[in-house]
């Protein structure tokens, strides 16, 4: 009888913990690892495939911005990829609705209502809006605010606009 009780309590605790964790990570904030070098040098500046798991950056993603979907130019966001909804990408917003963007492939696109243009900081190694076009803001899953790991890189993620892009 004692063991059954103990097991029951254990599962109950696990479930409660899971529920609370899921709610907090959905509504407020969560911590996720950043894979790949598309956002270097902001994240993963020295990515070595040999020790990738050790040098990977972990970042805080806040979800409160999803209440209003108000983003500013230069925000780093997590969004689910438009070509595969199970995959999450991290990129920087470089244009908002109404802005004009010109790229080598598309010539001067106006961002439609409710969409945004995302690009990686590492322009040479990034699969982003330059290949799949503007993405709906509804795909955005959160805004990256801080780096929390590794210890020597702890700090705020700055909002900035890359100068290589031409805005009109």
Partner 1 sequence: MRVLQYLSQWKSKAKDGIQQSLRIAKFLCLLHVTNNYIVSPVMVYGPSMLPTLNLTGDVLLVEHLSPLLGKVVPGDVVLVKSPDNPRKTVTKRILGMEGDSVTFLTDPSRSDRYRTLKVPKGHVWIQGDNIYASKDSRQLGPIPCGLILGKVLYRVWPPEGLGSL
Catalytic residues: 38, 91
Q: Which is nearer to partner 1, 58 or 106 (CB)?
A: 106
What residues contact 102, with CB distance under 8 A and at least 6 apart?
A: 108, 109, 166, 168
Closest CB 114 distance from partner 1, rounded Å: 4
Q: For residue 24, give both structure tokens.
A: 């907090």
Q: Which is nearer to partner 1, 12 or 159 (CB)?
A: 12
Closest CB 50 distance from partner 1, rounded Å: 32
Tell me the backbone φ, ψ of residue 23, rounded to 5 degrees: -65, -45
Other beta carbons within 10 angstroms of residue 128's beta carbon come to 20
Closest CB 22 distance from partner 1, rounded Å: 6
Gap between the Cα atoms of 109 and 3, Å rounded? 65
Q: Which is nearer to partner 1, 81 or 103 (CB)?
A: 81
Closest CB 53 distance from partner 1, rounded Å: 26
Across-strand partners of 147? 59, 155
What residues contact 88, with CB distance under 8 A and at least 6 apart?
A: 32, 78, 79, 80, 81, 141
Q: Which is nearer to partner 1, 34 or 140 (CB)?
A: 140
Tell me the backbone φ, ψ of residue 141, rounded to 5 degrees: -110, 0
Residue numbers at the binding site for partner 1 (CB under 8 A): 16, 19-20, 22-23, 26-27, 68-69, 79-86, 112-115, 135-140
What residues contact 81, with CB distance under 8 A and at least 6 apart?
A: 87, 88, 89
């Amino acid at each position: 009888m004692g063991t059954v009780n103990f097991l029951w309590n254990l599962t109950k605790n696990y479930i409660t913990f899971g529920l609370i964790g899921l709610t907090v990570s959905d509504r407020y904030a969560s911590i996720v690892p950043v894979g790949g070098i598309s956002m270097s040098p902001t994240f993963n500046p020295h990515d070595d495939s040999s020790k990738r798991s050790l040098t990977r950056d972990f970042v805080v993603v806040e979800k409160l911005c999803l209440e209003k979907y108000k983003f500013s130019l230069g925000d780093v966001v997590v969004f689910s990829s438009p070509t595969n909804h199970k995959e999450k990408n991290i990129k920087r917003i470089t244009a908002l609705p109404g802005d004009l963007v010109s790229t080598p492939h598309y010539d001067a696109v106006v961002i439609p209502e409710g969409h945004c243009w995302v690009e990686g900081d590492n322009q040479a190694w990034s699969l982003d809006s330059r290949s799949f076009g503007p993405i709906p803001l509804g795909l955005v899953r959160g805004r990256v605010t801080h780096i929390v790991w590794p210890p020597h890189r702890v700090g705020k993620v700055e909002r900035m606009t890359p100068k290589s892009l031409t805005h009109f």
